[in-house]
């Protein structure tokens, strides 16, 4: 999954939670479980953003971490 796809899926899960109300939070519907899984995927995929900063530093010589 790309970061954009994961963010879109997380937005859908949050909307589903809102539409379902309390059922979106309880075990009756697994929306929050999916949202938690997507959050972990988004955190994992955030490493691509760090890689972008590292490559940018190599190309430009500008340190985005300072």
Are 45 and 1 a contacting pair, CB within 8 Å?
A: yes
Report in angstroms the alpha-carbon separations of 47 from 5, 20, 32.
15, 32, 24
Report in angstroms the alpha-carbon separations of 31 from 2, 37, 56.
21, 10, 37
Parse the chain into domains and list their residue ranges.
3-60
Q: What is the reported pLDDT for 1? A: 57
* Residues 58, 13: Cα–Cα separation, whole Å: 37
Token pair belonging to 31: 């929306």
Q: Is there a catalytic annotation at residue 45?
A: yes
From the list 4, 11, 39, 45, the catalytic residue is 45
- pLDDT, tens digit, for every residue of 4-61? 888 899 999 999 988 988 887 777 778 888 888 888 887 776 677 787 888 899 999 9
Answering whether pTM is above 0.85, one says: no
């Amino acid at each position: 999954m790309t970061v954009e796809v994961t963010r879109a899926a997380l937005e859908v899960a949050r909307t589903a939670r809102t539409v379902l109300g309390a059922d979106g939070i309880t075990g009756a519907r697994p929306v929050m479980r999916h949202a938690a899984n997507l959050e972990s995927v988004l955190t994992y995929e955030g490493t691509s953003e760090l890689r972008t900063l590292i490559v940018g530093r190599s190309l430009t010589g500008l340190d985005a971490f300072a």
